[in-house]
């Protein structure tokens, strides 16, 4: 990797499922000062391959470290009855040069009984 303080930034992303069913996405940044000086941001996150959860009505997005959500943040979950997996997209505003942690938790809906 380049020398300290050079014109580069390196970001490593990690994701894991928490015991409460949430997906936690975090970043580890090296030489983040360069990315911050360039004003680089992450404005959209797409997560593919989440197991489809029955009785789920979207996701709640919470940034626990690093930045704030954009106003009117939109979290979309695309469900297809014939597929096993779900695709979730969200609009965010996260500086690439700053470490962050983001939690996506399925919103549970009550099953209607007749």
pLDDT given for residue 70 in this prediction: 55
Low-confidence stretches of the chain (pLDDT < 50) are: 55, 72, 81, 109-114
| Nearest-angstrom CA–CA distance, 15 and 45 | 12
CATH topology of domain 10-108: Immunoglobulin-like (2.60.40)
Can you give the residue ranges of every domain in the chain?
Answer: 10-108
Q: What is the pLDDT of residues 29-61, one digit of tens each?
A: 999 999 999 999 988 887 777 666 554 555 666
List, in order, residues 6 or more apart from 20 with CB less than 8 Å away: 105
Judge whether 25 and 89 are in contact, CB under 8 Å: no
pTM of the predicted structure, to 2 decimals: 0.69
The first and second tokens of residue 2, run together, are: 């380049």
Helix (H) or strand (E) holding 33: helix 32-38
pLDDT given for residue 66 in this prediction: 67
Beta partners for residue 46, in sequence order:
89
């Amino acid at each position: 990797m380049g020398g300290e303080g050079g014109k580069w930034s390196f970001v490593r992303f990690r994701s894991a499922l928490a015991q409460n069913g949430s997906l936690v996405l975090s970043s580890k940044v090296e030489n983040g000062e360069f990315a911050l000086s360039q004003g680089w941001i992450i404005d959209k996150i797409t997560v593919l391959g989440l197991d489809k959860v029955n009785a789920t009505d979207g996701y709640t997005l919470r940034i626990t470290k690093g930045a704030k959500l954009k106003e009117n943040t939109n979290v979309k979950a695309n469900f297809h009855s014939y597929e096993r997996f779900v695709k979730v997209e969200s609009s965010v505003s996260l500086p690439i040069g700053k470490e962050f942690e983001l939690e996506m938790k399925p919103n549970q809906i009550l099953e209607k009984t007749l």
